[in-house]
Amino acid sequence: MQIVTKGKNIEVTPALRDYAEKKVAKLLKFFGNEAAGKAEVMLRTERELHIVEVTVNLNGLLLRGEEATEDMYASIDGVVEKLERQVKKYKTRIHRKLRQDLAKEQQIAAEQALEEVKESEPDSNGLIKIVKTKKFAIKPMSAEEAAMQMDLLGHNFFVFANAETDEVNVIYKRKDGTYGLIEPEF
């Protein structure tokens, strides 16, 4: 992760820069070492307050926090704690949604197991017979968030509404471990 530290009305000493960057880098523990992103740390003083603003963009997830105290180091600690709470809340929300989706999938699978399903085979006129149809709600999200959802679900592909283009896209995992994105073309 790239961390940019800037100062306004304050000289950013190497010790202060190192402290801020080490604290902000701790957020990576929530996303694994492969997390790519950028963090901007703005240190400033106003009157007798030391204010720290941090904006983090990790894999499409945008986090922002601000803390003001009488000590710059305490402000850094406070803003990082706020960001950690945001990340935990976000991850809890994702895990809760995944558990609900998994429960729904298991219920559907159990219902389908009760039915006898024939394997797909060409019928007498040579056409492929579709034996299963699945419907699900899709929510707008970025391609990065869709990739994260796909990985969390353990699937090889994920259908989602692209928040940038308002079109249905498919993200998939390639054999070499990278990701591919299928976009419709009309």
Whole-number Å distance between alpha carbons of 141 and 59? 12
| pLDDT for the residue numbered 119 | 47
Domain ranges of the chain: 2-90, 137-186
pLDDT band with cut points at 50, 70 and 90 for residue 116: very low
Which CATH architecture is the domain 137-186 placed in?
Answer: 2-Layer Sandwich (3.30)
DSSP-H helix ranges across the chain: 14-25, 72-114, 143-153
Backbone angles phi, psi at 3, to 5 degrees: -120, 125
User: For residue 138, is pLDDT > 90?
Assistant: no
**Contacts of the segment 105-114: beta carbons below 8 A, 24+ positions apart:** 108/134
Q: Both tokens of residue 50?
A: 């030391």
Question: Mapping DSSP to helix (H, G, I), strand (E, B) and coil, where does residue 106 land?
Answer: helix
Structure-model confidence comparison of residues 46 and 130, the more confident one: 46
Domain 2-90, CATH class in plain words: alpha beta
Share of the chain above pLDDT 90, in %: 30
What does the pLDDT average to over 98-106?
75
pLDDT band with cut points at 50, 70 and 90 for residue 79: very high
Share of the chain above pLDDT 70, in %: 86
Q: Which residues of 140-171 are buried (b: 16+ CB within 10 A; e: fewer)?
A: ebbbbbbbbbbeeeeeeebbbebeeeeeebbb
Q: Quick: pLDDT tens for 6-63.
A: 999 888 999 999 999 999 888 777 766 555 678 899 999 998 899 999 988 876 677 8
